[in-house]
Structure 1
């Protein structure tokens, strides 16, 4: 087991079903044709339910210039062991039209209208409306 960089002595364990949030960042995201779309930069957790609400994926740009961040509803991702990354049923054109933001923009994660827009775009219920 590796030690956590955040809390010394706390084990980071990865199993077939569980992964530490610190290990999700940097994981590649592919489309259904195994073409790399981007990278998970972070995850957003719902404090009340404890569930992952979004994977924030970097997409587009070149060498970080023009790159945008896309909050993908966690329910849209599935992990593919063979690829070593997450797969989404989206293509580049769909991502280009998706709700996103630049690194220089401030996002109000409490804005339910914005969250609803993200959920509507991907055809899922918003994370706050999902039944445990």
Structure 2
């Protein structure tokens, strides 16, 4: 499901969201967090990397820290969750999805967790290793 389909307030169904006028409304520069949950994440080759299950906000700063992606390893079995630094995701408003420069094989080797064992996201070492894996800056 994409943000257009999850738009219960009509934010993105306004004619102003048709190219080239998209810059006049709140999207794609400001988007409703609820509408982004469930959006697909693809890589540049069009391969599915998963979908966004949660968006983690840094409450003290107001910044988006991570997107939590779900990736099923085999026919929907063995779901694994991944915290991906938000800055690694780029919105593709034409395909109505997010794009990340990563192969499915690399994602399978990413530091992940299951829904019953979330990492301590405030742990500085966890944060450093995660950003190191994705090649993103901490700030």
Classify the TM-score, shorter chain: 0.7 to 0.9
SS in 2 for 1:103: coil
1:105, CA displacement in angstroms? 1.2
Structure 1 residues not aligned, in runs of 5+: 4-12
1:13-92 mapped onto 2 (5 Å cutoff): 14-62=26-74, 64-92=76-104
Deviations 1:18-39 (A, max 9, x none): 1111111100000111122110
Number of corresponding residues = 118
TM-score by length of 1: 0.81
Range that drifts further, 100-109 or 88-97: 100-109
TM-score by length of 2: 0.77
RMSD (Å), alpha carbons: 1.9
> Stretches of 4+ moved more than 4 A in 1?
none
Structure 2 residues not aligned, in runs of 5+: 1-7, 11-24
SS in 2 for 1:53: strand
Q: Distance in 2 between matches of 1:96 and 1:19?
A: 28
